[in-house]
Amino acid sequence: MKERVVINDVGPRDGLQNQPRVLTPEQRLQLIRALLDAGVAHIEVGSFVSPKAVPAMAGTDQVVAGLPAGGATYSALVPNRKGYQLAKDAGVSIIELVVASTDTMNLKNINTSTEQAMANVAEIAELARADGVRAMCYIATAWECPFEGLVPLDTSMALMRQMFDAGIEEVVIADTIGAADPAGVQRLTQEAAAEFGAANLSCHFHDTRGMGVANVSAALQSGIRKFDGSIGGLGGCPFAPGATGNVATEDVVLMLDQMGFETGIDLEGLVAAVELAIELTNNCEGGNSIRWLRRQIEKGTLKKTA
């Protein structure tokens, strides 16, 4: 039996939040349906943030209202209590909170100190528990901050500990600017897996320096079995200078397939979703493997793995 790895596509949120072309809720749903058609079972569908701060995520409530029922797990990012209320009212059942590893990044991203951000997390996690909403939390810039530089391992570990103590069920360790390398990833994920359990962790990488899949591979060695990817490599944080696209979902799925893991995702369907992402945003070329994948599809030699 092949070992399963869960892929969460964050294209409809991380991928679209910084696009010059703002998509309509219906176009965002079109992208989500293409991901579902490919067998992607976890999707981050949007965020409930200030539309002044992130205009591209306005109308996430309409996206949520239009989601096909059944079969997939949908989540949405929530920066504060107001966002939580909006997400809950929209019917979101999994929220993702976010705390960065440094004060400067938290101030730029969500206008709070790290301490206040963590207090908000604890408060919202408690509300979520009472409401039957599952609360996850991102630790953003877990390896390096664009403003404060390298982040000591102990700083990220301490923040994750506070997240779990606050009742967060799953922590996503995020390399928001794509500055981490496989050695650093292995150090932090190994330590985090030993203390918190690999099953309660997932990883989120950006491909800024081309190390996205290498970093996935490093985290796999620590036992992590859940990863964010973004269709076509779309992405970038508007508040983190230098952050480019996320590691492309197609690159991660292809690598996992070849390594003998099971993702439940069909690569041909994924390529169709990439083509749609390119058409909709006009600002994405697809992941590093896209040309090879297209050639295999043309030749009819892409193995059906899903």
Output phi, psi for 295, to 5 deg.
-60, -40
Report if residue 116 touches ligand COA, rule: CB under 6 A: no
Least Å distance, CB 120 to ligand COA, is: 9
User: Please, where are the H alpha helices in 197-248?
Assistant: 212-221
Could you give the C-alpha distances from 222 to 198, 217, 226, in angstroms and in order? 8, 9, 12
203 as an active site residue: the answer is no
If you ran DSSP here, which 8-state letter would residue 24 be given? Answer: P
Report if residue 53 touches ligand COA, rule: CB under 6 A: yes
Identify whether the C-beta of residue 43 lies closer than 8 Å to the C-beta of residue 28: no
Report if residue 98 touches ligand COA, rule: CB under 6 A: yes
Identify whether the C-beta of residue 210 lies closer than 8 Å to the C-beta of residue 233: no
The two three-digit tokens of residue 194, written as one number: 């030993």
Among 79, 178, 233, 235, binds ligand COA (CB under 6 A): 79
Rounded distance, CA 92 to CA 67, Å?
11
Report if residue 202 touches ligand COA, rule: CB under 6 A: no
Give the residues lining the site for Zn ion (CB under 5 A): 14
| Of 137, 145, 237, 284, catalytic | 237
Report if residue 47 touches ligand COA, rule: CB under 6 A: yes
Identify whether the C-beta of residue 198 lies closer than 8 Å to the C-beta of residue 168: no
Report if residue 208 touches ligand COA, rule: CB under 6 A: no
Among 135, 139, 188, 237, binds ligand COA (CB under 6 A): 237
Say which entry of ligand COA, Zn ion, none residue 48 contacts (CB below 5 to 8 A, set by partner kind). Answer: ligand COA
Report if residue 291 touches ligand COA, rule: CB under 6 A: no
Say which entry of ligand COA, Zn ion, none residue 47 contacts (CB below 5 to 8 A, set by partner kind). Answer: ligand COA
The two three-digit tokens of residue 6, written as one number: 């869960």
Least Å distance, CB 274 to ligand COA, is: 22
Identify whether the C-beta of residue 272 lies closer than 8 Å to the C-beta of residue 6: no
Q: How many CB atoms lie within 10 A of CB 1?
A: 4
Please list the active-site residues. 237
Interface residues toward ligand COA, by CB under 6 A: 17, 47-50, 53-54, 77, 79-80, 82-83, 86, 98, 109-111, 140, 237, 239
